[in-house]
């Protein structure tokens, strides 16, 4: 096992700076997910940890050892790729054991470790098949098995589930979570899917434009995003955002959105300040008479079985509410909704930074 420490990590491609001085520690045995939009630098970060990309500046330590100039094979890390990277002419057994064979391990040592990894991943029945005879999920398990048999100090996953269909992604998420609980190996996982990041990781690191925007436990990022970007990126469906002007002329603060007004709680901002106010879809609830705070018009209704998403028009923008599964809605129907002002998130319109409730 090993911890990972990044101090001021920089990556330049010629005159272009892709990673801007990132500081981060991953504890021994921790599962950390890098998440962010395409081009944010998350795969570049992973490849620098693996040794597949040179570090332009800063210090990278694995297990307390500086590894900036250490070759990938000497870093004691194992990487699982998006495209599996299996040898098509080899059997599953040969693919899983190939890394050990290249390290000079004897067949008598390789065989039981391959069998053990296959048992953990439930692919023991496929050991004599070729990758072309397997499904995508089975091939990804083979790639994971190849990493497991090496018994590395660190597992690195580079968007391993992005090529799988929705059902297989859920199954493999469970498998990866179970695997980490069983082995306890330090794991860094890259994904563009924030649902994967939240369900798998002990800690989520949000990247944007090669910079670390926020990091912390998944529910901390969900409940207290430090900026509008994180608020919108973490959570599905994404947070509703209403841009407007703070109005303190009445008995309680309100947000003026065009000719509409939203009730607010107390927020640390002056009268007339430009605010972006966010509320998550599940915090918009059908309102009883006298408790209506907004009345959007239904545009699209999406029944999902467990709940119903109402995508509505309100104040010239789109609003999403997550409602009960048995709610009956029609297009162009006006629905009265309420919310608790304690569930609102406030962001400065210019900087995007979180504003605290007063």
Please give the pLDDT value at position 292: 67
Per-residue pLDDT tens digits for 87-102: 899 999 999 998 888 8
Query: How many Cβ atoms are within 10 Å of 235's Cβ, its own excluded?
Result: 20
Find the DSSP H helices in the chain.
42-50, 92-102, 107-121, 136-149, 166-183, 194-200, 218-223, 228-233
Is the pLDDT score of 311 beyond 80? Answer: yes
Please give the pLDDT value at position 25: 97
C-beta of residue 333 within 8 angstroms of C-beta of residue 311? no
Please give the pLDDT value at position 289: 73
Please give the pLDDT value at position 206: 97
Residue 104 banded pLDDT, cuts 50, 70, 90:
confident
Mean pLDDT, to the nearest integer, of 103-109?
Answer: 88
Per-residue pLDDT tens digits for 115-140: 999 988 889 999 999 999 998 888 98
Is the pLDDT score of 358 beyond 80? Answer: no
Global pTM reads 0.91
Mean pLDDT, to the nearest integer, of 2-13?
Answer: 97
Mean pLDDT, to the nearest integer, of 279-288?
Answer: 92
Is the pLDDT score of 239 beyond 80? Answer: yes
SS3 at position 84? coil
More reliable by pLDDT, 151 or 46:
46
Distance, CA of 215 to CA of 231 (rounded, Å) = 13
Is the pLDDT score of 84 beyond 80? Answer: no
Residue 288 banded pLDDT, cuts 50, 70, 90:
confident
Distance, CA of 99 to CA of 105 (rounded, Å) = 9
Alpha carbons within 13 angstroms on the beta-carbon side of residue 29 total: 4
Q: What is the mean pLDDT of the chain?
A: 92
Distance, CA of 46 to CA of 22 (rounded, Å) = 12
Is the pLDDT score of 5 beyond 80? Answer: yes
Residues 6+ apart with CB under 8 A from 278: 228, 231, 232, 239, 240, 241, 242, 344, 345, 346, 347
Sheet with 308-314: strands ordered across: 297-303, 308-314, 317-323
Residue 28 banded pLDDT, cuts 50, 70, 90:
very high
Q: From its phi and psi, is residue 305 left (phi > 0), alpha (psi between -120 and 50) or beta?
A: left
Percent of the chain surpassing pLDDT 90: 68
SS3 at position 337? strand
Is the pLDDT score of 207 beyond 90? Answer: yes
Q: Computed over its alpha carbons, how large is the radius of gyration of the chain?
A: 24
Using CB atoms within 10 Å of the CB of residue 38, give its burial: 0 to 12 exposed, 13 to 18 middle, 19+ buried. Answer: exposed
> In the beta sheet, which residues pair with residue 174?
none
Please give the pLDDT value at position 230: 97
Percent of the chain surpassing pLDDT 70: 99
Distance, CA of 185 to CA of 26 (rounded, Å) = 11
What string of DSSP letters covers 290-325? Answer: T---B--EEEEEEE-SS-EEEEEEETTEEEEEEE-T
Is the pLDDT score of 1 beyond 80? Answer: no
């Amino acid at each position: 096992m090993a911890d990972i420490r990044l101090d001021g990590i920089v990556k330049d491609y010629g005159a272009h700076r892709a990673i801007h001085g990132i500081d981060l520690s991953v504890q021994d045995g921790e599962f950390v997910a890098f998440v962010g939009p395409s081009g944010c630098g998350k795969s570049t970060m992973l490849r620098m940890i693996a040794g597949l990309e040179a570090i332009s500046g800063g210090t990278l330590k694995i297990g307390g050892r500086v590894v900036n100039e250490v070759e990938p094979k000497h870093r004691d890390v194992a990487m699982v790729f998006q495209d599996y990277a299996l040898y098509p002419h080899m059997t599953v057994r040969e693919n899983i054991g190939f890394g050990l064979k290249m390290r000079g391990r004897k067949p008598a040592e390789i065989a039981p470790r391959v069998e053990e990894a296959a048992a953990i991943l439930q692919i023991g029945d496929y050991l004599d098949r070729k990758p072309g005879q397997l499904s995508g999920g089975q091939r990804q398990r083979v790639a994971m098995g190849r990493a497991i048999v090496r018994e590395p100090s660190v597992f690195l996953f580079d968007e391993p589930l992005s090529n799988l269909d929705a059902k297989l992604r859920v199954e493999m998420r469970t498998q990866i979570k179970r695997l980490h609980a069983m082995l306890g190996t330090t794991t860094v996982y890259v994904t563009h899917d924030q649902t994967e990041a939240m369900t798998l990781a002990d800690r989520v690191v949000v990247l944007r434009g090669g910079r670390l925007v926020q990091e912390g436990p998944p529910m901390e990022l969900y409940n207290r995003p430090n900026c509008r970007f994180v608020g919108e990126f973490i959570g599905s469906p994404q947070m509703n955002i209403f841009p407007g002007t703070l109005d303190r002329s009445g008995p309680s603060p309100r947000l003026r959105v065009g000719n509409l007004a939203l009730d607010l709680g107390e927020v640390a901002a002056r009268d007339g300040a430009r605010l972006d106010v966010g509320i998550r879809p599940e915090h918009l609830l059908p309102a009883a008479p006298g408790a209506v705070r907004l009345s959007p018009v239904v545009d699209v209704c999406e029944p999902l079985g467990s709940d119903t998403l109402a995508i509505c028009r309100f104040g010239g923008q789109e609003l999403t509410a997550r409602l009960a599964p048995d709610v009956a809605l029609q297009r162009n129907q006006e629905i009265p909704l309420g919310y608790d002002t304690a569930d609102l998130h406030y962001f400065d319109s210019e900087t995007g930074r979180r504003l605290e409730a007063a």
